Amino acid sequence: MGSRIYRSIETVHRYFKVILRGVLKLYRALIRLRSEDTPPEIRNNRRFYPYFKDCVGAIDGTHVRASVPPEIQGRFRGRKDETTQNVLAAISFDLKFTYVLARWEGSAHDSRLLNDAFARPGGFSIPNEFSDRPPENAQELFNLRHSSLRTTIERGFGVLKKRFRVLDAEPFWSFPTQVKVVLACCVIHNHIMGVEPDDHIMEDVMNQVESSDHQQETQSRRESVEDSRSWNAKRDEICQAMWSDYTRSGE
């Protein structure tokens, strides 16, 4: 950029920070839940309504490249050998981010991020499974329909990383600035979705969900029990109601 506009690196860096601060001032206006009403994607689909009538979006984590001092790099090494920050995000069904929690080290388990998020806005995620055959019980039916909704967050992350290649590049800013860059990218993404939701990047990702970056690490038995007990009860309640209607109507 310095070579292109004939300015020093110091000048480019200084104004980058100015613009970054300006973009982040839009965070509260653009990264928020627009409505707590049942989304039309659920309300108008009898496969999802009324079972998911209280669902306003999807939540999951993704890893973004991070550069940190050598003495703390161990904490930032996740599933792969590279250092990353684990970013938790919630997204609505029109692929706009409604909540973003950045800055956690790559080795942090998703449940730690979720517990942190529960102190603020939050959500939950349940493992899914896919099948080409019709569901044979309540659990399979729930997983099949839940997974159809959950791909929303995978599409959202796919669009974000394809739109902003900087998220997959080796960063050279200080870590606090790296965190701000993630938030700024989400802010700009939401703005673009508001003015041009059907751009070529969106079309590309809609045709191929980039789910490989979002495989969840295996929880320990203790974490699994403690984090899932209340949500398992809620899931069971929904899937039994769903299965009863499914067996009665045959669809």
Domain limits of the chain?
A: 2-249
pLDDT at 147: 66
Report, as an integer, the average pLDDT of 58-75: 88
Gap between the Cα atoms of 49 and 52, Å rounded: 6
DSSP state of 77: B
More confident: 235 or 83:
83
| Strand partners of residue 85 | 64, 105
pLDDT at 20: 94
pLDDT at 129: 41
The model's pTM is 0.70
Percentage helix, strand, coil for the chain under 3-state DSSP, each rounded to 5: 55, 10, 35
pLDDT at 183: 95
Q: Sheet harboring 58-65: ordered strands across?
A: 58-65, 84-91, 97-105
Least confident of 47-56, 71-80, 110-119, 222-231: 222-231
Q: Does 68 score more than 50 pLDDT?
A: yes
Mean pLDDT of the chain: 77
Terminal Cα-to-Cα distance of the chain (whole angstroms): 57
Percent of the chain clearing pLDDT 90 (strictly above): 20
Q: Does 220 score more than 50 pLDDT?
A: no
Report, as an integer, the average pLDDT of 54-66: 86
- Residue 102, SS3 per DSSP: strand
Specify the residue for token string 């791909």: 151
Least confident of 177-186, 202-211, 241-250: 202-211
Least confident of 69-73, 127-131, 145-149, 175-179: 127-131
More confident: 127 or 74:
74
Alpha-carbon torsion 32, 99, 28, 158, what sign? negative
